[in-house]
Structure formats: structure tokens, C-alpha cells
A and B are shown apart, each in its own frame.
Chain A
Amino acid sequence: MDKIIEEARIVEQERILGQIFRLRLHSPKIAGAARPGQFVMMRVREGTDPLLRRPFSFSRIYAEKGDFEILYRVVGKGTRLMSGLLPGASASLVGPLGNGFELPAAGSAPLAFIAGGIGIAPLLELIERVMARQKGAEDLRLFYGARTAEELLPEDFVRMPGLRVHFSTDDGSFGYKGRITRMFEDVMAEGAFRPSGIYSCGPLAMQYNVAKWALANDTLAQLSLESLMACGIGACLGCALPASTPEDPGAERFVHVCKDGPIFSAGSIKWNKILSQQTVPPTWPSN
């Protein structure tokens, strides 16, 4: 698969709510080659600060128009600068990168999509593609949670005909009160819905719980995982995660998120060897 450097033009920048923004870019070569679950490395501005590109998933791909969208949350310096980009400005992109989701065989529902916070981003394009191939009668469900209602995308963003959405917030300000993976387990316990496959994206702690459930229930799961990245193309080996080594449990081996991922099966990661530093630390608002 060819990777491309492309100077993209900003088409639209919209603050959806709080710290969540939607950026539409005109980048015909990358948009033409992009698949759901893949990502781009974006240079948010020229110069040495910030030095490295930042990875973002495709949240919507409009190949015929040569556009795609990034749905992002402002968490630090790079994303703050990004939120200041205005239509007409340009930004350098490298992409499309990574493996992307494997689409389910047509008619293979029921399927569960699990999105934690900004993890909804890559699932929007995926759901759209899956819906386009399904006949309409299948059970497709999106489990979508955030810390509070202020961080949940407006309902019309995620509601699509034929998709059932279960909302949760940690503080109960909208939908189910509690962690998204607990809501998911509660729905599973009711017994009416049993997915044949799971697609999920969100914080590492959430992904761990999804993986645990999927492994315990022998269900295929495709998880979109993150790691700090420098190159995005498999050259620096910086984006490692511990790999499971069933053939030799004591062995130490790593997968690389930008090249082997970002989509991984639940069983491919050695979850008990992930260090706490790998989980995103809180950001200091005054920074």
C-alpha cells in the first residue's frame, strides 16, 4: 500500500462541543486510498514546536470529493494549534497509514461497536460502510460512552436508521450511569443481543475490558489502539506495545501500533505487561 505525503487544504473547521472539533480536509490522494480504521500523521504547523506529527484516524472519508474528516479532542499543544486552523489554510499529511478495520462479511450481524469518548471517530466511517452492506434487519448496536454529557457528541451525530445506540456517562448525566464496558456487560447479561463481532475504540482501560470480555466469551474483537508515535511508518520502532506470545508465554516481543495496527485482535496484546505510563495522563488546564 502506497503511503503519500500530501499538502491538504482545510475545508471546514467546526467546534462541535466543548473540546471536540471536526476538521474537514481536501486531500484527494490520501482520501482516495483511505480505509476505515487507518490514520494520517498530521503536521499541525511548520517549525520545531511541536516537532513531531500527530496521528489522527479518518472519521469520515469522501473519496469522490477528495475529502476526509478528522474528529478530534483538544488535549495538548498540537491539538490546540490544530483547532486554530482556518478554512483555506494548509497542513502537511502523511497517509493513509496502518492496517485498518477488517470489514465483516455482508450479513454477518449482530455486531457491536463500542466507542469511549473521542474513540467514536474511526467508528463513524466504519459503521457507515457496514450499514451500507447490511440488509437492514440485522442487529447492529453502538455502545457510546463518555465521562459526562458535555463530552458526548449530539445524538443526531451517531443516530442512523437501523443502528441501535446505547449511551452511557460515568456521572449519569446522560444515558446509563457508569462505565461503558459495564453497560455493555449489563446488556449482554440480558441475553437478547449476542454480537458475532466487536469493533471498539477508546481509552486503553476501556479497551482492556473489551478485550477481556471478548476473550472470555470467544468473540472476535477488533480494537483500535494508540501509542505515542514519532514516524507512523514503522521506521522508529517507538510505538511498541507488548505482544502476546502464546507459543512461549515467557518471551518478550512487541507489536508496533503504526505498522501492525492500529487495529488489533483482543488476543494479540499482552495486557498484563502494559505499564501505567502507557495510559494517557491528565492534562493540566493551565498549561
Chain B
Amino acid sequence: MEQNPVTANGSPDLAVELGPLRLKNPVMSASGTFGYGEEYSNFVDLRRLGAVVVKGISLEPRAGNPPPRIVETPGGMMNAIGLENVGVEQFLSLKLPYLRELSVPVIVNIFGNTVDEYGRLAARLDGTPGIAAIEINVSCPNVKKGGMVFGTDPAMTGAVVRAVRAKTSLPVITKLTPNVTSISEVAKAAEGAGSDIISCINTLAAMAVDIFSRRPRLANVFGGLSGPAVKPVALRCVYEVTRAVKCPVIGLGGITSATDALEFLLVGASAVQVGTANFTNPAVTVEIVEGIKRFMEVEGIGDIKSYIGSLDTSCLFPFAEDSCSLIESEMS
């Protein structure tokens, strides 16, 4: 495979372009696992991240679900936080200024109970300095459609994206749920409705119970599974989505290392987000940036863009007759 040589000064180029969104490297935090950024300022230099994606924001503050809200599972965890957040006004006045001061690109994750609420949030954020993009979380129940989750229906997803698109000139990212039969169909609907970028995956619907008390472990009964356990599912989703749409894709789900991140880039994601791994290692995001850089140096990859989507799924039969000469030349 052809590779760009390492750039003149010897330092590999990690910058990525996701349509209208340009990032200095492909590593971001995932919504809901990084607070509003400041929580991690003791552990990482936030300016070294491609972007910070903040906790999901709604029009009004939300208290969230009753506890217990989390439970650990093999290689993962489930959460039912219930989208607790300070609301858009407090976010803008109390949380955003800290990140704006640092000049960290901020991606604001938004959710609503109705299509209209998504549109109003987008309008409120539009034109606010310090915001690099809006990420639409469609993994929420639509109260006007009997609580059906927006993201499980291509038409409802399209309606949400259109409502946001109409109210903002910021880059729009649509974050897909894996809890569907065909994630490609939903991705196409989002792209068709004007989404500049797709991110996937959100958490997998899951459950845990206690055999003694005979009760669900989470007060909410269901929770969202995340962490290393979901990575193979996430990779498959990214693979499918990158082949279904033309717009850039952000991959996430179970990333804990540079190797994991590179797997997503290889499959076709133009950037990645890191979620649950922040809990285990609060410095993991910057460590992943450094790890990707080291990998590029060792592999002689000058530009990360040349690695993105370079997965080779063609068949190669090293022991077939006509490849023998190739093997012999390699052995000599």
C-alpha cells in the first residue's frame, strides 16, 4: 500500500478533516464520560485533544434517573444516568467559558423530548463563540410518539436532523444508536437530512439482575452497555455505516488504547471518541493521541488520513499455486 512519507520535520501529521470540521488530531472525549471537560483538567492537557464532546444538554435542567444508575459487567458497564444535565442556559454561562478560554474545540451533544426541542437547542447554540459542532443524540424517547426512540426510526431521525440543520450553520453530527436492525438505513436518513458527520455507536440496550433480592440492578431496569465489551459491535457498525454514506464517520465504543482507536480508523472512521475508558484511566485520551503518533512513526505513516479506511478485505491466498513465487521471493 502506498504511504505518504513522514513529513519534512519528521513529525507525523495527525490532523483530520471531517467535512466542515477540522481537528488537529482524531481523538475526542465521548459525551457523558468527560463531564464538561474541566473534571479532567487535573489529568490531561485538554488542549491536546482533537475536541471535547460535553455531556448531553437539554433545554431545561434535568435531574436524571433515581439511583442505582450504574453497574459493572464483564469487560464493560451499564449506565442509566437519565441524561442529568444543567440545561443549556447554565451550560453556556457556567461550563462553556472554561473550555473557550483554553481554545479547545467544543462539540455540544444535545437531546430533546420532541423534534421541536432539538431545533430550539440548535438555534440557541448557533453563533455562540467556542462551539465547534453540534452532536445530536437521537437515543432518546420521542414523547410525542409514545416514547419511541428517535434513533430507531429513519424517518424520525431525519426529522430531528432537519430541525437542527435548519437552525444552525455549525457542523452537525448525528450520533446513532446500535439498537436497530439496520444502522445503515438510519445513517442514510441522517445524511439525507443534512447531517455533515455521523458518529456511532451510542450504548447498547442491556440489563442486569440480582438473584438474591430478585430485583433489577438498575433502578431504571434497563441501561446502556459500554466499554471494551461493545467494541466488536461498534467496529461492525462503523464498517457498515462508512460503506452506506459518503459523509465522514466518527467511531466509538469500547476504545481503551491507541490500538483500539487505530482499528476504528482502519475500518473507515475519520476520528474517534473515547468514553468509558476515561473512568479507568483519566489520562487515556492524551495517551491515545501519543500512541497513534508512535504507531505512525514506527510504521512510517506520514499522514493519518492515508491510514483512514485502508482496511483490505480482499482475499489473499498465500499458498495458492500462483502466489508461490511471491512467497519464495519473500523468503530469500
Q: Is A235 an interface residue (CB 8 A)?
A: yes
Q: Using Cβ atoms and an 8 Å threshold, which residues of chain B touch A50?
A: 72
Within A193-242, which residues are at the interface with B (CB < 8 Å)? 227-242
Is A4 close to B, CB under 8 A?
Answer: yes
Contacts of B33 in A (CB 8 A): 231, 235-236
A43 within 8 A of B: yes
**Is there contact, CB below 8 Å, between A52 and B282?**
no
- Is A80 positioned at the interface, with any CB of B under 8 Å from its CB? no
A278 within 8 A of B: yes
Which of A49, A53, A230 gathers the greatest number of chain B CB atoms within 10 Å?
Answer: A230
Inter-subunit contact B71/A49 (CB<8 Å) = no
A276 CB-CB contact with B under 8 Å? yes
CA distance A235 to B52 in the complex (A): 13
Q: What residues of chain B lie closer than 8 Å to A53, measured between beta carbons?
A: 279-280
Given the known inter-chain contacts A234-B39, A238-B70, please indicate yes or no for A52 contacting B77, CB distance below 8 A.
Answer: yes
Instruction: Return the contact of A49 from the options B40, B74, B216 (Cβ within 8 A).
Output: B74
Name the CB-closest residue of B to A52: B72
Chain A nearest CB, measured from B28 CB (Å)? 15
Q: Are A51 and B280 in contact (CB under 8 A)?
A: yes
Residues from chain A with Cβ under 8 Å of B179 in the complex? none
Q: By the criterion of a CB under 8 Å from any partner CB, how many residues of chain B are at the interface?
A: 45
Alpha-carbon gap, A234 to B276, bound state (A): 14
A235→B34 contact, CB < 8 A? yes
In the complex the two chains form, is B227's CB within 8 Å of A48's CB? yes
Query: When chains A and B are docked, how far (Å) is the Cα of A235 from the Cα of B29?
Result: 12
Q: How far is the CB of A276 from chain B (nearest CB, A)?
A: 7
Among A2, A235, A277, point to the contact of B219 (Cβ < 8 A): A277
A273 to B219, CA, bound (A): 12
Q: Does chain B have a CB within 8 A of A84? A: no
| Closest CB in chain B relative to A68 CB, distance in Å | 19
A3 interface residue, CB < 8 Å from B? Answer: yes
Taking a contact as CB atoms closer than 8 A, the residue among B63, B213, B280 that contacts A277 in the complex is B213
User: Are the C-beta atoms of A51 and B227 separated by less than 8 Å?
Assistant: yes
- A159 at interface (Cβ–Cβ under 8 A)? no
- Alpha-carbon gap, A240 to B68, bound state (A): 7
CB distance from A279 to the nearest CB of B (A): 9
Given the known A-B contacts A234-B39, A236-B279, A238-B81, are A49 and B213 also in contact in the complex, defined by CB atoms under 8 Å?
A: no
Contact A254:B84 (CB < 8 A) given known A4-B42, A51-B76, A240-B69: yes
B215 at the interface (CB under 8 A from A): yes
A282 within 8 A of B: yes
Contact with B along A49-71 (1 / 0, CB 8 A): 11111000000000000000000
Q: Interface digits, B201-231 against A, CB 8 Å rule (1 contact, 0 not)?
A: 0000000001111011111000000011100
Verify if B283 is at the interface (C-beta below 8 Å from A): yes
A48 and B67 contact, CB distance less than 8 A = no
B43 to chain A, nearest CB (A): 6
CA distance in complex: A140, B260 (Å): 55
Query: Are B282's CB and A5's CB within 8 A?
Result: yes
Q: Which residues on B sit within 8 Å (CB–CB) of A109?
A: none
Interface presence of B75 (CB below 8 A): yes
Q: Are B215 and A273 in contact (CB under 8 A)?
A: no
For the complex, give the distance between the alpha carbons of A53 and B211 in Å. 24
B71 touches A228 (CB 8 A): yes
A85-103 contacts to B (CB < 8 Å):
92, 94
Contacts of A275 in B (CB 8 A): 66-68, 219
**Interface flag for A281 (CB, 8 Å):** yes
> Which A residues are in CB contact (< 8 Å) with B210?
277, 281
| Whole-angstrom distance between the Cβ of B303 and the nearest chain A Cβ | 32
In whole Å, how far is A50's beta carbon from the nearest beta carbon of chain B?
A: 6
Report Cα–Cα, A2/B41, bound state, in Å: 9
Binary interface encoding of chain A residues 26-42 relative to chain B, with 1 for a CB under 8 A from any of its CBs, else 0:
00000000000000000
B69: chain A residues at CB < 8 Å are 228, 237-240
Is B195 interfacial (CB 8 A cutoff)? no
Whole-angstrom distance between the alpha carbons of A49 and B228 in the complex? 10
Closest to B76 in A: A51
Please report the C-alpha to C-alpha distance between residue A251 and residue B229 in the assembled complex, in whole angstroms. 37
Which 9 pairs of residues, A with B, have the shortest CB-CB distance? Answer: A238-B70, A235-B35, A235-B39, A3-B42, A231-B279, A230-B279, A252-B63, A48-B75, A240-B67
The 25 listed contacts between A and B (C-beta, < 8 Å) are: A2-B42, A3-B42, A3-B43, A50-B72, A51-B75, A52-B77, A227-B67, A231-B282, A232-B279, A233-B35, A235-B40, A236-B32, A237-B32, A239-B67, A239-B70, A242-B66, A242-B67, A253-B63, A254-B67, A254-B84, A274-B67, A278-B68, A281-B210, A281-B212, A284-B212
